[in-house]
């Protein structure tokens, strides 16, 4: 098993380019199942999660070709409707194929994606939506089975603006008969990217990016070309890296509108963030951060996926910060590991109270999930001495070439085999 060895203490400087967004590309790849013609996707990050969803498509009889950052999906040969349990249990986003398979094949059998280290992550809202569209759904022996002749548009109110449920319902209703309205829909930029992709295939979706999305079903969709948006969470992680190391870096391929909440919090913490041009920002930190309070919320609120990285930054600030996690019920797994590195964090219910310390110290730590791993990497960059992170496969799920990108900024990170 590979580990990362980080020698801390380097101030990061230079330029880093953000890759395509994991959370955009996964639903877009699933949505390619809706159309029998070829779809061509560009700016596809070569992440473990992308390879996994590609395997899911291959397992359904679809042909995919991935070269460099271009993925060609040929869904004309789609012939199966039961993705294997071994793939679905590996990654929650595999469940995003349920909507497209139901719309295109009229049936699907898929195992429950299960929970993960950050929470139980139920799928009730996905199923409630698909059932409102007319699907006959049964649950048993760990599987969901759904059948329908043709989905019919409906009005669906989501009890929580779930990203995945909004995506599954949009994809399913794109080919449904009549109009679907999703109220209290998720407003994340990745929903807008998915809707833009589907509209370029001939779908009729309006309101994506607001809390009400209207989808007028069409009979068929056609092949298309699409380039995915940059990853705002990866961008935020590099901003955090500049902040925690007292660095001075330029981040390229960033949509500023998508990172407003992160820019606001880092600015409050004392980081200087300047617009270089439309797609580049410069992030400079020249002193210890001020403490800031953060509450994670659905977009446009502060993203839960940057909660752990921001906790890393706050652990070295010059005061007390409170971080409240409202999206996932168990997303403080990184706290134990951050403490090994000298962070002073106490959990009180859904909040973490972080007393900033002057120095973090390198230690042996374990990544418990993707963003927990990113947080440990950030602390390692700023800690005295060496940090050894195990279970780094979590990090590879969501960051392309993170070791090389950080080393190009002056970090000192090695990957070693155990």
Ligand X SMILES: CC(=O)N[C@H]1[C@@H](OP(=O)(O)OP(=O)(O)OC[C@H]2O[C@@H](n3ccc(=O)[nH]c3=O)[C@H](O)[C@@H]2O)O[C@H](CO)[C@@H](O)[C@@H]1O
Give the Cα separation of 194 and 228 in Å (integer): 9
Beta bridge partners of 5: 388, 414
Note the helical H segments in 208-250. Answer: 232-245
If binding is defined by CB under 6 A, does position 125 make contact with ligand X?
yes
Interface residues toward ligand PEP, by CB under 6 A: 92-93, 118, 305, 370-371, 398
Question: Which of residues 124 and 220 has its CB atom nearest to ligand X in the complex?
Answer: 124
Give the Cα separation of 135 and 213 in Å (integer): 20
* Closest to 391 (Cα-Cα) out of 411, 362, 364: 364
Among ligand PEP, ligand X, none, partner that 398 touches (CB below 5 to 8 angstroms by kind): ligand PEP
- Half-sphere exposure for 378 (CA within 13 Å, toward CB): 32
116 part of the active site:
yes
Binding mask 247-286 for ligand X (x = CB under 6 A): ----------------------------------------
User: What phi-psi label fits residue 412: left (phi over 0), alpha (psi between -120 and 50 degrees) or beta?
Assistant: beta
Among candidate residues 116, 318, 336, 412, the one labeled active-site is: 116
Question: Which of residues 23 and 387 has its CB atom nearest to ligand X in the complex?
Answer: 23
Q: How far is the CB of 112 from ligand X (least distance, A)?
A: 11
22 labelled binding-site residue = yes
Residues 148, 151, 154, 158, Cα dihedral to 10°: 70
Question: Which of residues 172 and 370 has its CB atom nearest to ligand PEP in the complex?
Answer: 370
φ, ψ dihedrals at 139, nearest 5°: -120, 130
Q: How far is the CB of 370 from ligand PEP (least distance, A)?
A: 5
Are the CB atoms for 250 and 270 separated by under 8 Å? no
**Residue 16 token pair:** 């880093």
92 labelled binding-site residue = yes
122 labelled binding-site residue = yes
121 three-class SS = coil
Question: Which of residues 10 and 187 has its CB atom nearest to ligand PEP in the complex?
Answer: 187
If binding is defined by CB under 6 A, does position 123 make contact with ligand X?
yes
Q: How far is the CB of 415 from ligand PEP (least distance, A)?
A: 21
416 by Cβ neighbours in 10 Å (0-12 / 13-18 / 19+) ranks as exposed
Binding mask 152-181 for ligand X (x = CB under 6 A): --------x-xxxx----------------
Return residues touching ligand X (CB under 6 A).
23, 26, 92-93, 119, 121-126, 160, 162-165, 186, 190, 304-305, 327-328
Q: Which residues are catalytic?
A: 116
- Binding-site residues for phosphoenolpyruvate sit at 22-23
């Amino acid at each position: 098993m590979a580990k990362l060895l980080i020698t801390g203490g380097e101030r990061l400087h230079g330029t880093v380019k953000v890759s395509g967004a994991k959370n955009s590309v996964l639903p877009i790849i699933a949505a390619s199942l809706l159309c029998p013609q070829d779809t061509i996707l560009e700016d596809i990050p070569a992440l473990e999660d992308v390879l996994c969803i590609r395997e899911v498509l291959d397992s359904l009889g679809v042909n995919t070709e991935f070269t460099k950052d271009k993925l060609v999906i040929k869904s004309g040969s789609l012939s199966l409707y039961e993705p294997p349990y071994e793939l679905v249990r590996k990654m929650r986003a595999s469940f995003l194929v349920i909507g497209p398979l139901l719309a295109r094949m009229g049936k699907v059998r898929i195992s429950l994606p299960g929970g993960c280290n950050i929470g139980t992550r139920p799928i009730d809202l996905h199923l409630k939506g698909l059932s409102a569209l007319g699907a006959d759904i049964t649950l048993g022996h760990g599987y969901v089975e759904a059948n329908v002749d043709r989905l019919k548009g409906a009005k669906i109110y989501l009890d929580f603006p779930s990203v995945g449920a909004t995506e599954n319902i949009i994809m399913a209703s794109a080919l449904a008969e009549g109009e679907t309205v999703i109220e209290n829909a998720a407003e994340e930029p990745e929903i807008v990217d998915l809707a833009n992709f589907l509209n370029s295939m001939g779908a009729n979706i309006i309101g994506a990016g607001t809390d009400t999305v209207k989808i007028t079903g069409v009979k068929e969709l056609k092949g298309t070309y699409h380039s995915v948006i940059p990853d705002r969470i990866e961008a935020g992680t590099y901003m955090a890296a500049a902040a925690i190391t007292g660095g001075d870096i330029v981040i390229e391929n960033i949509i500023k509108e998508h990172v407003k909440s992160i820019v606001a919090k880092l600015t409050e913490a004392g980081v200087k963030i300047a617009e270089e041009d439309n797609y580049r920002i410069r992030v400079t930190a020249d002193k210890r951060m001020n403490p800031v309070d953060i509450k994670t919320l659905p977009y446009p609120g502060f993203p839960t996926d940057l909660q752990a990285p921001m906790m890393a930054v706050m652990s070295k600030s010059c005061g007390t910060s409170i971080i409240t996690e409202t999206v996932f019920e168990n997303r403080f797994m990184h706290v134990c590991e951050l403490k090994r590195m000298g962070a002073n964090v106490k959990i009180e219910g859904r909040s973490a109270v972080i007393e900033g310390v002057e120095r973090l110290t390198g230690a042996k730590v374990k990544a418990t999930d993707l963003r927990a791993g990113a947080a440990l990497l950030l602390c390692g960059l700023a800690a005295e001495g060496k940090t050894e992170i195990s279970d780094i496969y979590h990090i590879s799920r969501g960051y392309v070439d993170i070791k090389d990108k950080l080393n190009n900024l002056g970090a000192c990170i090695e990957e070693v085999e155990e």
